[in-house]
Structure formats: C-alpha cells, structure tokens
Structure 1
Amino acid sequence: MTHDLIPTLRPLLAAEVSAEALASGADPGDLEQAVWLRLLERMKEAGPPADPALWLRGAVRSEARRTRHTGRREAAYAKEPADDAEHGPEQRALAADRYRALHAAVRRLPGRCPRLMAALLSPEDLTYREIAGELGMSQGSLGPERSRCLGCLRRMLTAEVAAPAPWGMER
C-alpha cells in the first residue's frame, strides 16, 4: 500500500495544489512540497491515512491556509540587507569601530576634556547652557575649552594613526 500511495496520489495532489495555489497566491511547487513532507511525516508516525484522497485534500487546504497566514505576517525587504552598500553589515561594523576608537580616545584626554567631549558627543544633543550647568563652568568658556580639547584629540589621533604597531604590523 505504501509504495503504491505516492504514484497514486501524485495526479490528485497536482490538481488540488493547482486550485489552492491559484486561490491562495501560494507557489504551487512550495505547496506541493509541503504536502509531500507532511505525508511522509504522517506515514512515519501513524502509517498511511485510512482515506488518502480525503487526507490529501485536507492537507492541501491546511497548507494553503498556513501559507496565506504566514504571507500576511511577513514583509519582503526592499533589497537584501547584505547588498546595501550604504547601511550594510560591513558599513555598520566599520562605523561601530570608529565610534569605539573615538570614545576610547576621548576617555584618555587630560583634565576636563573627557567630560566635555562626552557631553558634546552625547546622543541627547545637549545645549551649551545644559553642558555648562552639568560641568559647572561658564557658558562662555565652553567654546575655548572645546577648541583646546579638540586640538588635543586631533594630535592624539594623528599620532595613533601615524604610529606603526609593534613588530611592523598594521593597526
């Protein structure tokens, strides 16, 4: 019975899948493959169905419903994320690395510079008045202090980029 079942059901499955795929918008090949897989799983667990034709019709309808339901919840990407040269994984990794390097350099600055630069780089987009209040300094001295800190940071980063790593290895 098991060996005869698949060749016997093949034409019925093709007809049922054709009708349901057209109505549900599913790919007929995917729907047919899902039903065959379901039949094989069923046969492994409980043996062949008592009425294979009836079981097949129900399985096709069930798979078509599942496909429609899944299709409503899933949204296709406009383009593949890995193909997005501007916001792809490589660009995000490089940006994250630059962010970590900048913040590590800011933490090594002398005096009040680390706190000032951290406040200026804050995602909260603080105003000069808020930064001055947070750091306990006058608002008028923020500009000159910021210039000194940026000069120090520039010299520090220039030296790091220009200096070769030990043993002639690149950084």
Structure 2
Amino acid sequence: MDLLKDANLLNELGPLLSAEAAAEAPAAGVDAADLEQAVWVRLLEGGPAPEPADRASWLRRAVRAEARGARRRARREVPYGARPGSAGAEPEDAALHGEVNRVLRSAVARLPGRCPELIGALLSPRDLTYREIAGELGISQGSLGPVRSRCLGCLRRMLAAEVAAPDLRGRER
C-alpha cells in the first residue's frame, strides 16, 4: 500500500491515534495500546486508503468502531474464573454454591432405585458420555434417556415440595 510507504504517516497519525485510543480505551474496558494496534491493523488490511484530507476523521471513526467492538466482546465473554465456587470467587458466593451443591446431593441420595447412581454419574466432574454412563451402570445406552427423564422428574417434584413456591403476587405461602 503506497500510503504506508509514506514514512510521514506514522509521524502524522501516531500522536492523534494515541490520543484517540487513550480517550476511548477506559470506556471500552481495553488497553489503549490494544486499540492503537487494532486501528493500525485495520489500516493495513483495509481497502482504499483514506485521502490525506480525510485521514484524521477516518482515524477517529476507526478508533470508535474498534472500541465499540471491544465493548460488544466484553459483554459476551465470561471469564473462566467467574463461576461461583471457583478460586477467584467471593467467599460468600463460594459458600452459597457449596450449600446449593449439598442440598442437591442430599436430594439425589434420597431418590428411589437406580436414580442416585444415574444422576450422580450425570453430575460427575469427569463429564462422562452416555456410552460411559451406560457401561458403568450396566444398562443399555438407549434406555438411559427415559430413565434419566424419570429420575429428573422425581428430583424436580422432590425439590419443589421442599422449596416454598411463590404465589401469583410474589408472596411466599
């Protein structure tokens, strides 16, 4: 691109790009250097180069577009450590998550028949496949779905009876 061959381009756009990126970065939740880099990449990969008279406005639009993209990505992305009970979670969240797990495990243990084994296998941190669960329990893979459905229905009814359901107006009974 003959625009980039111009050695004065970095000198001309560099300070403006740094200032624009520094202004937009805090609201976007990204580092200003990352915004600068994204705009330089956009300039390198872009189609027609901006005209010399239009370079400043193109640069401002490009920085704002990259900042909008960063904000959209930040809304969609969830860090791995953000789950309750994880090492980086608040102590209150970890305690609440632990209590929910204890209540759930207690209810699963009270299920009839093979349900405790099946639900325990489904909740296993080993993330077993249906084939592996069927092999461990000694039942056919085809009957695993209907049995799972019956067990979950029983668990749902059991937990619904233990937890007070709110009235239509949001008051507890």
Same fold (TM over 0.5): no
| Bigger helix share | 1
TM-score, scaled to structure 2: 0.44
TM-score, scaled to structure 1: 0.44
RCO (CA 8 Å, sep 6+): is it higher in 1 or 2? 1
Larger Cα Rg: Structure 1 or Structure 2? 1
